[in-house]
Amino acid sequence: MMKNRVALVTGAGKGIGRGIAMKLAEAGYDVGVHYGSSREGAEEIADKIRAMGRKAVVIQGNIQNVEEIREMFRQFFKEFDHIDLLVNNAGITRMAPFLEVDEDMWNAVVNTDFKGAFFCAQEAARKMVETGTKGVIVNITSNHSIGCWPNSTVYGPVKAALDKLTKNMALDLAKYGIRVVAVAPGYTQLEWFTERSLQYMEKISKRIPLQRYCTPEEVGGAVVYLASDKAGYITGTTLFMDGGALLPVVAQNEYC
């Protein structure tokens, strides 16, 4: 009997994670809906997934803490006996001029966006190896990994590190049939945008070659494809989804 495909999406209570979780459910996955603080959003998305006839489990955990990560996975594997796909989506964005960055900000970004992704991937990969699952790990990074914006001396380098981790993990895990890829969105429209945010989006969209922001659902569609057998020969690489924002010679920033 064929097992249902099972995915865990971190940071699925809001933003890009919600779009990814929904698209995976539409594609036939049962989904572990992880959240850090957005419980209401996680429960809402889980209810929508169940309404599609798929199984959804809500799991809370602080991914800055390795023991909490391990407990997250213990809870996940109480419900599912294997994992086909991990989406390391959870992350935070903190911006400040280089001379004003303090240790608390540095730790928050590094520990969430890099350390958390590293140890979540390790737990998922261990289970994949144990069960003989030729699974997929998708890391959500950002076009900040190669583009430079003001006040991004922590966030940008951390996303670059996650891109490099994707490559090294892919090399180490290939012998188990596990693929590791990354998706790097650019400007993305999110459900909590204020009127001011929407006005900024309208202004910035004119500088993006495709003239608009990405949507969480589009990122989710990319994840579904990369996790599918159609992408079975793709590993150790990053798909940029920024509407061509990095293409102009003069980068968009406050000085131009």
Of all residues in the chain, the percent with pLDDT exceeding 90 is 75
- Catalytic annotation, pick one of 29, 35, 155, 213: 155
Q: What length does the chain have?
A: 256
pLDDT of residue 51: 97
Residue 73 dihedral angles phi and psi, to the nearest 5°: -70, -35
Does the pTM of the predicted model rise above 0.85?
Answer: yes
Q: Is residue 195 predicted with pLDDT exceeding 50?
A: yes
pLDDT tens-digit profile of 95-131?
Answer: 999 999 999 999 999 999 999 999 999 999 999 999 9
10 Å Cβ neighbour count for 155? Answer: 23
- Answer whether residue 34 shows pLDDT above 80: yes
CA distances (Å), origin 186, targets 51, 89, 215: 31, 14, 10
pLDDT of residue 256: 45
Does 147 score more than 90 pLDDT?
A: no
* Residue 1 pLDDT: 45
The order of strands in the sheet holding 238-241 is 56-60, 30-35, 6-9, 85-88, 136-140, 179-185, 238-241
Q: Find, among 53, 45, 240, 71, the residue nearest to 144 by Cα.
A: 240
Q: Which domains does the chain have, with CATH numbers?
A: 6-241 (3.40.50.720)
Report the distance separating Cα 138 and Cα 117, nearest Å: 10
Q: What angle do CA 82, 55, 215 make, to 5 degrees?
A: 100
- Look at residue 158 and tell me whether its pLDDT is greater than 80: yes
At 46, list the tokens. Answer: 């889980």
Q: What's the chain's average pLDDT?
A: 92
Q: How confident is the model at residue 252 (pLDDT cuts 50, 70, 90)?
A: low
> What are the residues whose beta carbons fall under 8 Å from the beta carbon of 112, sequence distance 6 or more?
63, 64, 90, 91, 92
pLDDT confidence of residue 201? 74
Q: Please state, in angstroms and rounded to a whole number, the distance separating the CA atoms of residues 155 and 92.
A: 9
Q: Is 155 a catalytic residue?
A: yes
Q: Is the per-residue pLDDT at 32 higher than 70?
A: yes
Q: Is the pLDDT of residue 246 over 90?
A: no
On whether the CB atoms of residues 189 and 201 are closer than 8 A, the answer is yes
Strands 85-88 and 6-9: parallel
250 has a pLDDT exceeding 60: no
pLDDT, tens digit, for every residue of 4-20? 899 999 999 989 999 99
